[in-house]
Amino acid sequence: MPIDPEALLAKKFPEVEHAYSVRDTILYALGVGAGHDPTDPHELRYVYEEDLFALPSMAVVLSHPGFWMREPDTGIDWRRLLHGEQGLVLHAPLPVAGKVIGRTRVTGLVDKGAAKGALLYSEREVIDAASGTLLATLSSTTVLRGDGGRGGTTDQAKAPHQIPEREPDETIALPTSPQAALIYRLSGDDNPLHADPKVAAAAGFPRPILHGLATYGLACRAILKMCCSDDPARLKALAVRFSAPVFPGETLRVAAWRDGRIVSFRASVAERGVTVLDNGRAEISAD
């Protein structure tokens, strides 16, 4: 059946409880490349249980509602969807272990026409189960390539953040390991596209690709290093548009433009010169 825009907006999602451990926090950090230099104390703070910190981007794997767009009652052509954008607002530092509750809702649908598809906006709150504290708000844009021309609930698409037209203030290169996707998938996304060469080939890729949210985590590490003195408590928000995949083993080059508390950023693959993250925007606290 085709999608019903009003039904999507009214869809009720069950709360998702998610208990995670120090081990899970370390595993997530390893999956986004932390600890590449095991003698760097700034890297060790994310992968060694002594005085451990959680990477802020780990919020994206907490209390996830699962692949709900595959459910028949949504009417979504799930085989043709793409993860277009990811945003994160931090309200409090993530605990290194604990139990959280996820509350998901659909916030809008933009119909771009039968030939162009639609944009689905959704949001997830991550709440500390013990205290009731709101830890993070996650926002996602999903490109529904097969579901245009059926109406929408939102008139216009959100305007992307604009990158300044000047040379970047700073650039950093972060390597990824050939095993990066195999590690990251242990944090919850076990799509075989990121592990099985046969599945990747069927999808048109020469080999398995890195998860988009793993690339997002690498960008988070880059912003922490360049703009936050590697203090995770200083990162308040992080949003980006996905533009191309990364292959495990490639080097992510992140360029940043600082304008007070707002950081614009873009990421490319050094080996191929391809932009993989664009229209990036981070908000940081004062020094």
CB 126 within 8 A of CB 135: yes
User: Do 5-144 and 170-284 fold alike per CATH?
Assistant: yes
User: Of the residues 212, 217, 278, 284, which is catalytic?
Assistant: 212
pLDDT value for 56? 98
Spans of all domains in the chain: 5-144, 170-284
Catalytic residue among 3, 127, 209, 223: 209
Q: Which of 24, 147, 189, 278 is catalytic?
A: 189
Question: Given 75, 98, 127, 194, which residue is catalytic?
Answer: 194
The average confidence (pLDDT) of the chain is 95
Helix (H) or strand (E) holding 108: strand 98-111
Would you call 209 a catalytic residue per the annotation?
yes
91 counts as catalytic: no
Sheet holding 134-144, edge to edge: 16-20, 98-111, 118-128, 134-144, 81-90, 235-242, 274-284, 262-269, 251-259, 170-175
Per-residue confidence band for 3, with pLDDT thresholds at 50, 70 and 90: confident
Residue 212: active-site member: yes
Q: What is the pLDDT of residues 108-142, one digit of tens each?
A: 999 999 899 999 999 999 999 999 999 999 999 99
Structural class in CATH, domain 170-284: alpha beta
State yes or no: is 26 an active-site residue. Answer: no
In the CATH hierarchy, which top-level class contains the domain 5-144? alpha beta
Cβ neighbours for 95, distance < 8 A, ≥ 6 positions apart: 54, 128, 135
- Residue 104 confidence (pLDDT) above 90: yes
